[in-house]
């Protein structure tokens, strides 16, 4: 199967129907044993120091792996992708722009999907067949997500990793499904996280830290039971058609649509606090203003750049934040009426 690079979650069903294997360039970048190398490659090519690390990493992956076709999301993800696309073109990479509609309306999504299918030489009938074939993979990862917050048996990192990997199913949906199933089976033999642990939400773009952030939080008596964007990548609300599925996907649209979804999950998952991760030089960081205004819980905003490991300063801020949540919870318990 010919590989096609993707810069974020896109309608993978269409790519697969057209005979491509989608490869999420972000996932390849961040799981590389030496991601700094890929960033350096981009900086050597002239990407500025004050450009987002993810963009530079994607560029590095394309060049190093010789990815010759990339589907670039130009509306609904990242404004930097437009210039990334131009530079990739300069390097001889075939780039295909893809723009999510400005509002999440299946009637607007339908022609966008049809156009993408036509460009890639397939149609939506074939893509819908692929969609049916992916139901089990998506069901399994949602089961894993449920186990994270309902039974406290899945770590925040595992939750993150398998949800975020559903953008391309690690290149092999059948193997992906088997891997998630076996993690679920293994988790049933584990002890649950203690009920007394603080329950956290992680919102914002995926972090550059690998497992560090989640394991540090867990070491300090808390558990991430909700990864917002990662869960959206796994299409939690597939609707009845492909157009509905990608209109229900909140990430490309207004932050207020994301806020509604976040607040619903915060209530269902009984969340105590929210970590908002922002990437240095990312326009999405401005959304912090809206989250702080629209989420009725203390929010810790942390910014990552190109460290790839938690810094001492961030560790201290996390510890202080968890202490604050703990004393807040104690106060709430003390003031709640005794039965
Ligand atoms: S973190 Fe922000 S700037 Fe970086 S690729 Fe993602 S959306 Fe773009």
Domains annotated on the chain, with CATH: 2-132 (3.40.50.11890)
Residue-wise pLDDT for 54-81, tens only, equals 999 999 999 999 999 999 999 999 989 9
pLDDT at res. 184: 97
Residue-wise pLDDT for 236-257, tens only, equals 999 999 999 999 999 999 999 9
- Cβ atoms 50, 283 nearer than 8 A: no
How far is the centre of ligand 1, averaged over its atoms, from the C-alpha of 198 (Å)?
Answer: 29
Ligand 1 neighbourhood includes 278 CB (under 6 angstroms): no
- Six-digit token string for 146: 């449920």
Alpha-helix runs per DSSP H in 66-123: 80-90, 106-120
pLDDT at res. 333: 82
From the CB of residue 33, how many other CB atoms can be counted at a distance below 10 Å?
Answer: 5
pTM exceeding 0.85:
yes
- Tell me if residue 104 falls in helix, strand or coil: coil
Q: Given the CA of residue 7, which atom of ligand 1 is nearest to it? A: 5
pLDDT at res. 136: 97
How far is the centre of ligand 1, averaged over its atoms, from the C-alpha of 65 (Å)?
Answer: 21
Q: Given the CA of residue 279, which atom of ligand 1 is nearest to it? A: 1
pLDDT at res. 44: 97
Among 29, 55, 74, 304, which is best to mutate for testing ligand 1, by the most ligand atoms less than 8 A from CB?
55
How far is the centre of ligand 1, averaged over its atoms, from the C-alpha of 123 (Å)?
Answer: 30
Q: Which residue, by CA, sits nearest to atom 3 of ligand 1?
A: 282
- Tell me if residue 258 falls in helix, strand or coil: helix
Q: Which residue, by CA, sits nearest to atom 4 of ligand 1?
A: 52
Q: What is the mean pLDDT of each run of 10 residues along the chain (339 residues)?
A: 96 98 96 96 96 97 96 94 97 97 97 98 98 97 97 97 97 97 96 92 95 96 98 97 98 97 98 98 97 98 94 97 95 76
pLDDT at res. 109: 98
């Amino acid at each position: 199967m010919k590989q096609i690079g993707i810069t974020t979650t896109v309608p993978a069903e269409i790519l697969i129907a057209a005979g491509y294997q989608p490869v999420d360039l972000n996932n390849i970048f961040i799981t590389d044993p030496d991601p700094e190398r890929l960033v350096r490659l981009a900086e050597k090519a002239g990407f500025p120091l004050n450009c987002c690390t993810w963009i530079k990493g994607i560029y590095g992956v394309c060049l190093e792996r010789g990815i010759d076709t990339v589907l670039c999301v130009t509306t609904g993800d990242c404004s930097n992708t437009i210039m990334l696309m131009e530079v990739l073109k300069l390097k001889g990479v075939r780039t295909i722009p893809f723009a999510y509609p400005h509002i999440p309306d299946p009637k607007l999504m339908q022609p966008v999907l049809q156009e993408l299918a036509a460009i890639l030489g397939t149609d939506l009938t074939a893509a819908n067949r692929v969609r049916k074939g992916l139901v089990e993979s998506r069901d399994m990862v949602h089961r894993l997500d449920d186990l994270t917050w309902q039974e406290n048996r899945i770590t925040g990192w595992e939750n993150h990793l398998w949800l975020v990997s559903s953008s391309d199913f690690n290149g092999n949906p059948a193997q992906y499904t088997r891997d998630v199933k076996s993690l679920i089976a293994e988790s049933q033999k584990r002890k649950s996280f203690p009920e007394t642990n603080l329950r956290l939400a992680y919102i914002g773009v995926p972090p550059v830290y690998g497992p560090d952030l989640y394991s540090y939080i867990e070491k300090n008596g808390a558990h991430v039971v909700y990864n917002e964007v990662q869960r959206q990548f796994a299409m939690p609300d597939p609707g009845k058609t492909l157009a509905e599925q990608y209109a229900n996907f909140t990430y490309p649209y207004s932050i207020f649509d994301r806020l509604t979804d976040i607040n619903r999950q915060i209530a269902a998952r009984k969340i105590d606090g929210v970590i908002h991760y922002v990437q240095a030089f990312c326009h999405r960081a401005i959304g912090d203003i809206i989250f702080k205004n629209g989420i009725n819980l203390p929010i810790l905003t942390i910014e990552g750049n190109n460290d790839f490991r938690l810094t001492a300063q961030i560790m201290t801020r996390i510890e202080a934040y968890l202490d604050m949540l703990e004393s807040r919870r104690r106060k709430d318990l003390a003031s709640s009426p005794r039965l």
